[in-house]
Structures are given as structure tokens and as C-alpha cells.
Chains A and B, each alone.
Chain A
Amino acid sequence: MAISDKDFEQLRDFIYRHCGIYFNAAKKYFLESRVSHRLAATGIKTAAEYHALLSSPAGATELKFFMDEITTNETYFFRNPAQLKALEQKLFADIVEKKNKIGFRKLRIWSAASSSGEEAYTLAMVILEHRSTLFKDWIIEIVGTDINETVIAQAKEGVYNAYSVRNVPPHLKSKYFKEDGGKYILSAEVKKFVTFNKLNLFDDTKMIFMKSFDLIFCANVLIYFDLAAKAKVVQHFYNNLQPYGYFFIGQSESLHGVNDLFKLVHFPGGFAYCK
């Protein structure tokens, strides 16, 4: 079902205000197909009527179904090349320079909502590639946390399918994975830098102990929280980030209006937050 440009823009603005995801025009087709599913399920005739329902108090339940339709939980290695480029081009070097000055050669990274581990392990691989230069003699600690124990177990196992590793540069794929019957087994060399733990981002008593991170990643999770919950969790990230550290969210996400303390650092193809 085709949605008019006006209806698309209204729906896009509604989604952006509601959860902070921006659907660009290239994703109009995706949104059309998802809205079509929900129209069929609810018996509503037009996108405009559907938008009216979502915006009304009566639409609270439908809004949950809609959010499930438009968000995907998929994760894969090297999912955000622009982010990795920014780290390698500038951000890693900035952090190393600052920490070298105080003589503290330890890099701490938190993948908060680590799912099956792809993001945390991607970072480990990228850092390993700078092990003999920028991070020579550095202690590297990467922590992955998730609320779901099943995905934590998968992350610890470190066995992936071809889809998950499709974006891994070939030289790194052959270096850090062993292929076995269509499965890709991650090498112990990468795994040893990463630990995985269960953590609920709303558990204040545990969150305050996630201290002194240089880089924090939290992609595609905050979109599910309301503004107050989002603000609370983001404040924890702010508190737990080193003064020279960076905080990253997902590729189409926005924290506009959520936290006044974080400043945006723009880089080609993306942005991060700093103090």
C-alpha cells in the first residue's frame, strides 16, 4: 500500500517524537509495508486514520504492536562502518593521548545491550588491529551486558552464521574466524578481551557500579523507553563515562531533548555524544 508523502511525513514525525528514530525517505517503502501489516490486522482503512489512532490514548496497545513492526532486533559484525572509521581516525587517538598524559593505559568499553555479542567483538577486532601500535601495552577491557540470558550465552559461545559475519572485511574474517560447516567460530584471541554479564539498565544499584568507561555503546534499545525512562538511563551513561569519553547510539536514533548535558560530536556518516 502506497502512503502519500504527507502521510509519510506525519507518521515519520510521530515516530521521531515518540521514540527518537528517524525514518528517511529511502525507508518509505519499509514503513509502507509495516503500516500495511497493521492496517490489515486492525481493519483500519487509511494511513491517516492509523496515525490518528496511534496519536490518541486509545492507541496505546496498538502503538506497542507498531513499534515491534518497525524495529528490528538484528545485529551483525561491522554494522556501523562510519562509527568504526571515526574511532580509528580520531577518537581512539584522542583517548590514548589523554590517558597517556595521566599514565593510565587501560581502555574500558561497554556494549550496553550487547545481544549476541557482535558489537563488542567487532570493537575487540578493531582494537586488536592496533595492538602493536596505538594500543601497545594497553590493558583492554570490553564489557557486554544484556537483560536476556539466552543472548548472553550465545555471545559467550561466539559461534555465528554467515549472515552475521557478512560485513566482516575478508582479511579479518580469515584471521579471527574458523569456518565449520557454515558456522563461523570466533577465535579465543578476540574472545579473551570481552566479558558478558546480565544487566537490567533500570537497575540503579547495579548501574552505578558500571564505572569509568572510555566508550559506551547503546544501540537500538532506548527507542523502547518512554522519555522519563530514557532520561534516567542516559544519565547513568553520562555518569559512567570518563570526561574525555564518547557515547554512541544506533544509526537512525536521536537523543534530542533527552539529556542536556551531553554534547554532540559530528563525524562523517554519524555522530557520538561527549561531555
Chain B
Amino acid sequence: MKETLMAAKAEQLVGDSDALPTIPTVATRILALLDQGEVNLDEVADLMLADQILTARALKIINSPVFRPSTPITSLKAAVVYLGVAHIREIILTTSLIDIFDGGSAGELSAFWEHSFGVGMVAKVIAGKAGYRDVDKAYIAGVIHDIGIVFLSSYHGDGIKRVQSRLDKGADLLAAEVEEFGASHCEVGLCLAKRWNFPDAYCEVIACHHDPYQATLDPVLCALVNLANLFWSMHLPDYGGWVSFNLATEPAWKLLKERCPELKMDEERFRYELEEAVHEVQQLVASIFTS
């Protein structure tokens, strides 16, 4: 019942917004092309080249140390081939998201994307350790998991400021959002993702990344993003409030251990390695916003 109410509230928050952002035209055309069964990758690359900002951003995202391709990718064609049909779709959605929310205050947006790309990177690394079949999917799921937050910041900024002041006093993020908006960024994000036709597995991550046991399509993916979110929050603590955690008592870790019993982690070393990656993520975000 509570979930239904929050979903309705989220619909209202998204629906009430004046001029709800739309995916850029070129991206829409590429997505439509990708939806057709037989896809010609040359055609996709040609279409992408028509939008230079989209192309530049896609290349920066794919080619950054954060994404870590096995070999450097220097051309858009190579990027399309490297990613394949499955992931070119997500990169386009991601670059579109950056486009759509490019109008907010620079500081807030940087903090948001530093969180998002960081979570993407960490999700990919944990996915590798867990033997998850598609580590790039984990990366993209990490990047887009908080779209509800960037939407709320852009369209309900005053409310988000009140949420932030509750966080500063030690409140829990989801509780503070529900108190303020009647729904959290998870329901709001899901609502947006559905409107933009995000693939179902990503919709589920957006909805369930704080509660992976609710997931039915790909609970492991939700758990990976959940843990990546926790770990990355240890390195950029200004985003989402000060939190601490004990892996042994985290439901997402329990879920992952159930599905991937061989998973082991040197937590201390992992933390030190992530500390090293902060600068790389900040550089990636700075480069994305420098046309």
C-alpha cells in the first residue's frame, strides 16, 4: 500500500514538472534503430557522429581510466564495435542524461556525476570479483542508479535543500526524501526511467538499489550497485550524508554471497585502491563537462 502511494506520488512529481526533459533527437533516432532486430553498427556510428557533443562525451566515458577498456578506443566506430548493440544503447542514454541535466549549478552536477561514475566504476570492479557475466552492464547500472536524485535536484531544488539540511543533522536519505516529497529518489527515478524506455534491468536497479532483495529480474545487479554505492560513499562523503557500514551485516553482501559463494574481498586493500581512483573519476567528470 505504502509502495503504491509512493509510486503515485512519484508520478505526480515527474508529471507535474513543467517541460519534462526529453531525450535528444539524435539519441532517440539511434535508440529506435537499435530497437530494430538487425542493426547495422556503421549506421549507428554515422548517426552518433551527427551529434558532436554526444560523440565526444560517449568517447570520454568509454575511454576513461574509470571504464578501463582492455585496449584504448580511439574512434567512435571502434567504440560502437567494442560496446556492441547491448551497451551502445546505455551509453547513449547516459550521455543523454548528462545533456538533459546540464543546466543545473556546476558544483551540484559535478558532485552528482562524480558519485554516479564512481559507483559505476566500483560496481564494475565488484562485478568482476563476483564473476558477474556482464561487468559493463554493472558499470552503466551504477552510472544511472540515482537519476531520481538529479531530477529532484533540477526540478524540486527547494525540497532537495530541505532534504540536505535533514541529512546534515544525521537523517537517513530515503526517510528524509519520503518525508519531504512523499516518495524517494528510487520511485521518482523509476518513473523517469519508464518514461524514457530504459531497459527493464536498469529500471529495476533504479528502483531497488537500496533494497536489492526486492528485485526479481536481476537481484545480483541491484546488490552490486548497492555495495558500490556504499563503498564509493566512503570516498565522497559529501554526497548523500555521512554513513558507515559493516559488510557482514549488509543485505546486499549477503545476497551476493548466496549467489556467488566464491566471492572474497580484501576490504582494507579495496578501500585503499578506491581512494586512488577518486582523482580519476573527478578528472572524467571534469572532462565530460568541458566541451
Contact = CB atoms under 8 A, between A and B. Distances in A.
Interface string B269-280: 101110110000
A185 interface: no
Contacts of B237: 268-269
Given A256-B266, A266-B230, A268-B234, A22 B272 contact: yes
A244 B231 CA distance: 23
B244 interface: yes
B234 A266 contact: yes
A31 interface: no
A22 B246 contact: no
B235 A22 contact: no
A271 interface: yes
Interface in B179-202: none
Given A254-B266, A256-B266, A256-B267, A266 B272 contact: no
A205 to B, nearest CB: 31
Given A22-B268, A254-B269, A255-B268, A267 B276 contact: no
A86 B237 CA distance: 12
Which residue, B233, B234, B244, B275, has most C-beta atoms of chain A within 10 A?
A: B244
Interface residues of B, number: 23
B155 interface: no
**Chain B, interface SS category:** helix
Nearest to A82: B237
Given A266-B231, A266-B244, A266-B246, A271 B267 contact: yes
SS of A interface (majority): mixed
A16 interface: yes
A253 B245 CA distance: 19
Interface residues of A, number: 24
Interface string B165-188: 000001000000000000000000
B248 interface: yes
A196 B248 CA distance: 36
Contact of B244 (A16, A25, A267): A267
B247 interface: yes
A26 B234 CA distance: 19
A264 B234 contact: no
A264 B275 CA distance: 17
Interface in B254-291: 266-269, 271-273, 275-276
A24 B276 contact: yes
A131 interface: no
Nearest to A255: B268
Given A89-B242, A90-B244, A274-B246, A266 B276 contact: no
A16 B234 contact: no
Contacts of B246: 263-266, 274
Contact of A266 (B245, B266, B273): B245
Nearest to B266: A256
B279 to A, nearest CB: 8
A26 B279 CA distance: 10
Contacts of B243: 268
A245 to B, nearest CB: 14
Interface in A90-128: 90
A252 interface: yes
Contact of A86 (B170, B230, B244): B244
A256 B248 CA distance: 15
B122 to A, nearest CB: 13
Nearest to B271: A271
A6 B11 CA distance: 52
Nearest to B275: A24
Contacts of B244: 86, 90, 265-268
Given A254-B268, A268-B237, 11 more contacts: A24-B276, A89-B242, A256-B269, A263-B247, A263-B248, A264-B267, A265-B244, A266-B230, A267-B244, A268-B235, A269-B235
For the complex of A and B, 8 pairs with smallest distance between CB atoms: A268-B237, A254-B268, A22-B272, A267-B244, A256-B266, A24-B276, A263-B248, A256-B268
22 contacts: A22-B272, A85-B242, A89-B170, A89-B242, A254-B266, A254-B269, A264-B246, A264-B268, A265-B245, A266-B230, A266-B231, A266-B244, A266-B267, A267-B244, A268-B234, A268-B237, A268-B242, A269-B235, A269-B237, A271-B267, A271-B268, A271-B271
Interface of A: 16, 22, 24-26, 85-86, 89-90, 252-257, 263-269, 271, 274
Interface of B: 170, 230-231, 233-235, 237, 242-248, 266-269, 271-273, 275-276
